Structure 1
Amino acid sequence: MRLRSRGARGGSRLFVAYAAASLVPVAVLGVVLVNGYRDDAARQGEEQGRAQAVVIEEMAVAPALEDADLTSGLTVAQRDRLQAATDFAIFHGSVLRMRLRSFTGQVVFSDDGSTAGGIPVSDPAFTTAAVGRTDVAVVADPERGPGEVIRVLQPVVASASGRAIGVLELYLPYESIAARLREQLRITYWRLGAGLVGLYLVLALISWSTTRSLRRYAARQEYEAMHDGLTGLPNRAAFRARAKAALETAPRRGAVTLVDLNHFKEVNDTLGHHAGDELLRVVAHRLVSALRPEDTVTRLGGDEFGLILPGVTPAEAPALLARARDRLTEEVVLDGIPLTIEASFGVAAYPEHGTGVEELLQRADAAMYQGKRGTSGIVVYAGGAVAHPTQWLVVQAELRHALERDELVLHYQPKIRLSDGEICGVEALVRWHHPVRGLLPPADFLPAAEQSGLIQPLTAWVLRRALADQRDWTTAGRSWPVAVNVSARNLDEPDFAGFVAGALAETGTPADQLMLEVTETALAGDTAIATRTVVDLVALGAGVAVDDFGVGYTSLSQLRNIPVSEIKIDRVFVSSLGRDPQSEAIVRSVIELAHGLGCWVTAEGVESPEVRRWLEDAGCDAAQGSLLAPPLTWNDLIESTTGDVRRDLPAVARS
């Protein structure tokens, strides 16, 4: 409220200043227009006096004088003619005074008979007339007191000879012109005043509209600076400000909670960012509706939300957040696909777990990642027992050094053809010989590589090593194709197919001996670059397999447009064969439809003879799993296949 009032006062001051500033040019414009009218009236009087003087000089004075010499005065006859010619104008007041003067200034004739008066010979106006030009001016009446007259000094030209013989000094009435001017100015003042008032009102309206727009813009900018544009929730800056205020306002007890959505990236990758945006809006609405009015829900960025729960204790927070989690897990349909939202909640209470915003955020973050690792989705910070589980930055730094120090190794898991039990290919699986933590499985470091630029050099290393090993076991008499897993990031590289072609040429491996396995999620987005990369890889002669099929959102109709040669059914369906009719129906349908598309079908995670027999009966082409053969080193793989493959491989698995 204080911010709004302060903004309103600032806008009012701006409006007043703008209105006052616009008044100045309006007033100046009025003065200019009035002065212009005055000047026009004066010019009008002068032009009228000039015209009247010319008429009097040419029609009355010059004919009466004929070729008189004014330096020696006028004859009686000339004076009488001149008197008769000018009496009418003098009598009717169209001429107030008239003097006929020689070039020396002598008055040789006047309307009142006087021979004195008139402007001095040295006056520029007299000089102008003496040289043959008319001088006209509106001046104060020098003889009759207040008022103005039109003074004209007109050269007198003899009608017979056409030469100038003297100067005619006339004083003409200006009052009628002045009266018309006053009336005209009065009307003009009203019109001008009305126009200027209208103009000022328009400018004032414009200034009011502009300042209101500026106030709204400032308010919108202030709102946007503190709110998330997608969900409308307060943003990270607002979260920090409100959390700080909560820590300083009694009662100084409550909890800060971080909420992170699980598997949100898969929604973006498979359904598109528009679906991810809609999911975030749904989450925002559900969190707000599930919590108390006094609680604050903010979006911190990405799929992470921040909650401020004032007045709750560490023991009370889980119950309150359980309601929010139950509300979140209600099914939502995006692009026709039903989804269940899962989230991890990390709670840090104040003052128990900290009294500063940053401290509470760090501990809530640690608790949240503990929830992602464990079975509980809501974790309250518990001191030193809770730690960030992955430490991705450390893992990424160590993995970079692992590539440089050749600490990575490949194990190979055979794919067994179910029709005869023979090895029909092997899959390369990367491991990390960590100098401290020992042999690490892919789950401990591949996510860190996926989140950084390390996935490209890691895939390059795996591909080159796998092709080199394939060349060596081919030399040893085992002509098995090798399968290498590639990431969605690899498919998005503009020239990944060119890199694969270079690696094949470098090792001398035929392209048909390489199978590139891509997860279903990586293909679900069906981006132009990924699709083009798959087409280019197939054009090289390499095979492309869809890994973990069934857990993403790709349909077989999509696969019709992508030239894949193998589909690998995910272990989540395979492991329940023989017990779950739904899984059996799904697997049987995938096998039939994949064969209809001309694809080879491999089942993953085969761990029992019953599952193997079911797959054989269903027409599955190949299988992988601990029942058949575990991942083996290159040497163990060669040694285990020296004798009868069908006899030796299970023995290796049992060992």
Structure 2
Amino acid sequence: MGETPRVVTKLVGILLAWLPGLSSRFVLLVAGLFLALSVVMIMVASYLDLRDEEQRAVSDAKAIGATVSRLAVPHLTNHHYLILEQELESIAASGVVEFAQVYDPARTVTIDSDPDTSYFDETENHALVREVLDTGHDQLRQTRERVEIALPVRDMVSGDMLGTALVSVKRMPVNGMLLSIWGRNIVITLVLLVFCVPVTIHFAENFVRPINALTQAAHTVSSGNFDAPFPVDRKDEIGVLARAYRDMVATIRNNMARIHELAYVDPVTRLPNRESFRQHFNANMEGAGGKPNRVCVLFIDLDRFKRVNDSYGHDHGDALLKEVATRLQRLLDTRARDGAAGKESVDRKPAFAPLVARLGGDEFAVVLPAEMPMEDLRLFAEQLVQCVEQPLEISGLTMAVGASIGVSVYPDDGEDYTAILKNADIAMYAAKRTGGNRACFYQEIESDSHAHERIRLEAELKIALLRDEITIVFQPKIDCTSMSVVGAEVLARWNHPDRGLLSPGCFIDVAEESGLITRLGERVLDLACRQGRVWLDAGQRMPLAVNVSIRQIEQPGFTTRVLETLDFTGFPAELLQLEVTETVAMADPEQVSEATGPLLKAGITFAIDDFGTGYSSLAHLQRLPFNTFKIDQSFVSGLAGDHHSRSIVKTILAMAKSLRYEVVAEGVETIDQQAFLMENGCTTAQGFLFARPMPADRFEAWAAAFTRPQGAQADPASPDRNSASGCAA
């Protein structure tokens, strides 16, 4: 029995697969239901008709029996048996009545419709006749072949029973009756089916038509066309479904537009973003026929943007980026309209449309066909520089930034997008190293081995900061009068796993360019304060000087981080001195003063490093919180034979004395240099004459055993010189 449902399910599945259309399934379903209902109707109608036939046979028998009973009354009263016999024979001759008889109990005479018998014949009374004589009521008996009924014959006036009447009516055979009934009902069903099938098909088509329209719209949407019309004018459930589907598609369309915007449009400038730029470049690398297009990429980095962003806030920075983006797009549109440098033929169509994009931060890029001569590319790059460097009006403030541009050309400078963009970036950094606000072509810079080294060094420096490979050394400061150790300058070293201990000359420039100088400076300050606290706990009070980069001062929260480092390590603020180069101090005196003011109040002192190499203003010096000058070692090294250096050093010492500044001379390497400095009032000196930079443990031992050097001379060619830019430590 369990196999039957599975077979039915399988047959239904096969049928649905054979009839995939909704309209065909609907018509088939209605036809199947109609046929099933027809079969049920035929069965029920056949049963009811059979019952009606049976009831009709009984009714006919009763009617004929009543007729015979009424006919028999006068004949039994007058004993006219012969006439009654003739009438019974006439009734039986109609074919409906099988036989009829009347029994007269008074004379025990039976009159029947059989011509072969006579009322004089003695016959046994029928069982129903006897029951009527006994009960005086009608008696009925039915069999498959006939219906027999016996009724009393009563006097019409007195009501006395005169006799009995018996009638037997033949019944139609059941099989014949059913065939007749079924034939009639089947004909009716076929007539109805002929009428209903076209109506059903028409209704199915009208019902499925909006569903088909909705399905077609769904297919159109699935192919990517979200503007497909929907049959939403209906008021029924299909209309509700269509409106809901339309609203859903509208939401999807809006979401897709938003996703596309987030994926390919820069939110600040509304220019294409890095991914859109990459796809545009890759799509135009090859022209018709698979021949490579010459493609030029100009990598643009804004100069001095970070200073604007940090000084005036990100809102002003974003407004500046928008204005720069507008200028770049306008220049590109003008070039596309007028032709590069006015030399392109009007009839010549460019290989592809130029594109300007924002890659992130303050970096932009332009991609355009490189079909024009190199001179025209150079001219366009210079136009970009001039376009950016023009002053900008942002919220009533006049701002100015520059643009360092690196240019690389496909396929000359690289075989894919990654190589071209990397080389344009390298060329941009080359432009920055030469002062910025200019364009530099990758083909014209040095061998890219130096650039590759810079990139590799930057990646390794990031790992070094994570792995604590940065360490510090200490170069002592000596009081020129008492010849005692009065402090130390903290210098960074990189304990490189492959190249050994590296001095700052190997990695400071990379740290500055990549922005890692902030993390590097924080690491050096933390290590210095920790070591200073260790010495303080051991009873050795050692003032320490730590160099600070302009990137650190520009970084929001610089003051807070310095104070937090002191608080966390427990190193006293009055023992910490921060050194800022003269160039940095004079570049933005107001910002330096704002950043160092709270630190000065906390007790931290400040020194101007490399004093004499920049362009200091006495007015600015009076406002800045410095109390120490550090004479640059280039002047100290020239004291022996350069009278200009001697004059400059004397001037610095005299100015420091008048301003009550402390003075530290860097790079002291000879007794003569020391003597000159002491004669002219220099208070503190540091250099290889006294000691090279050394780790903390060696510094402790050296300071404990330090005595005045007697004619010692340092090796000027040593890579450990303060002024050395070599990588050996």
Larger radius of gyration: 2
TM range (shorter): 0.3 to 0.5
Higher relative contact order structure (alpha carbons within 8 Å, sequence separation ≥ 6): 1
TM-score under structure 2 normalisation? 0.43
